[in-house]
């Protein structure tokens, strides 16, 4: 069960948290490179985490649209493990 984190520069703590919840591998896109707007979500991804204070609105909308098209859960979170934990709990993970 794989996860994708979009946004943020230092995501080590989030990777460790998601790994502890059973997600492996945990991929990361910084959202800073222009080409990342044109990437496809990997096929084995089961969860998408968008760091809302680290990505632009266009990328956030595109990721959400792509994820919804594949019926993937999307979690929007600020840079806070507490908020990420609450969001995942609301999903039922």
Tell me the C-alpha to C-alpha distance, in Å, between residue 83 and each of 29, 37, 49. Answer: 20, 25, 11
11, HSE (Cβ side, Cα atoms, 13 Å): 23
CATH number assigned to the domain comprising residue 87: 3.40.50
Residue 37 has pLDDT above 80, yes or no: no
pLDDT greater at residue 15 or residue 55: 15
Return the higher-pLDDT residue of 24 and 78: 24
State how beta strands 2-6 and 74-77 pair. unpaired
> Tens of pLDDT along 42-90?
999 999 999 887 788 888 889 999 999 999 999 998 878 888 898 888 8
Number of domains in the chain: 1
Could you tell me the residue range of the domain that residue 22 belongs to? 2-91
**Against a cut of 0.85, is the pTM above it?**
yes
- Please state, in angstroms and rounded to a whole number, the distance separating the CA atoms of residues 93 and 51: 18
Predicted local distance difference test score (pLDDT) of residue 5: 94
């Amino acid at each position: 069960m794989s996860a994708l984190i979009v946004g943020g520069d230092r995501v080590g703590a989030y990777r460790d948290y998601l790994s502890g919840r059973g997600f492996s591998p945990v991929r990361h896109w910084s959202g800073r490179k222009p080409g990342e707007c044109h990437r496809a979500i990997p096929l084995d991804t089961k969860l998408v985490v968008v760091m809302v204070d680290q990505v632009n609105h266009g990328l956030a909308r595109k990721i959400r649209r792509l994820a919804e098209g594949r019926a993937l859960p999307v979690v929007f979170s600020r840079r806070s493990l507490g908020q990420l934990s609450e969001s995942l709990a609301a999903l039922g993970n």
